[in-house]
Amino acid sequence: MRVVIKDNEKQVAEYAYEIVRMALVDRQYKVLGLPTGSTPLLLYSELIAGLNRTEIDFSDISTFNLDEYLGLSADHPRSYRYFMETRLFEKINIKPSNIHFLNGLTDNVEAECAEYEDQIAALGGIKLQILGIGRDGHIGFNEPGSSLESRTHYVTLTKETIADNARFFDREKDVPRWALTMGVGTVMDAEQILLLATGENKAAAVAAMIEGPITQMCSASALQSHPDVTVVIDWAAASKLQHLEYWKQAADDYDEMYDFLTAARRHAGLEDSY
């Protein structure tokens, strides 16, 4: 796990954009997993700007969103599909047929979840999965207690999650109590994972994810066992890390190490470089 600490939300989004840009352009990834919520909004703005600068292109990209409320239609203004349409999809050159979303009005939950897994598999799996993290350490809607091997499934939302999401609704009682979500196992199948977190209210969850034990009570802790995870956070979200100086030094050394290897390979007369 690579931990990158930036001064503020804007810098977090800018750094995350470079990771996504490299994934699309250099690694030629074609399948993205996307989150909703307030955390990725600045990143989505950066992606739109990157498209306008012709640095990236979504014309052959397919996306799978992490989750959706049960009981809300795709055009409901509080559905996650509507969120993504208005914040990102309608502002980039993605084909509508390449956008994949769980159906909040499905009449067969089990079949809907199984079909979503099949759609992901049919495209060769998610290459880059972008994540946020809940205050209790959940990723997607994988609430505390979710199996770390879980596939796409139905979940009952905790009171904490409902309270956190109430800001998007007129009243807390209007927040749906159930959702469909990619499972932790589904997320862990992604080739590369990028998680963003900002603000002091995420500090405890970030510390549990990075430094705590791997446990189903903090589904994000499963990321410790993934081979390619980058966590980009601000200082507020990093404030409860016990080994803060180490994580900062390790992140700084990462870039320095590649500069060192590039110079060493050139000195050795090797044509290719890192």
**Among all residues, which ones are annotated catalytic?**
67, 136, 138, 143
Q: Which residues are within 8 A (CB) of 30 and not within 5 positions of it... i.e. 6 or more apart?
A: 60, 61, 62, 123, 127
The whole-angstrom separation of Cα 247 and Cα 97 is 41
The whole-angstrom separation of Cα 183 and Cα 137 is 14
Q: Are 62 and 123 in contact (CB under 8 A)?
A: yes
The whole-angstrom separation of Cα 186 and Cα 224 is 15
Q: Are 68 and 81 in contact (CB under 8 A)?
A: yes
Q: Which residues are within 8 A (CB) of 74 and not within 5 positions of it... i.e. 6 or more apart?
A: 81, 82, 101, 103, 104
The first and second tokens of residue 254, run together, are 């990462």
- Torsions phi, psi for 99 (to 5 deg): -95, 125
The first and second tokens of residue 135, run together, are 């205050």
Give the SS3 label for residue 243: coil
The whole-angstrom separation of Cα 265 and Cα 274 is 9
Give the SS3 label for residue 241: coil
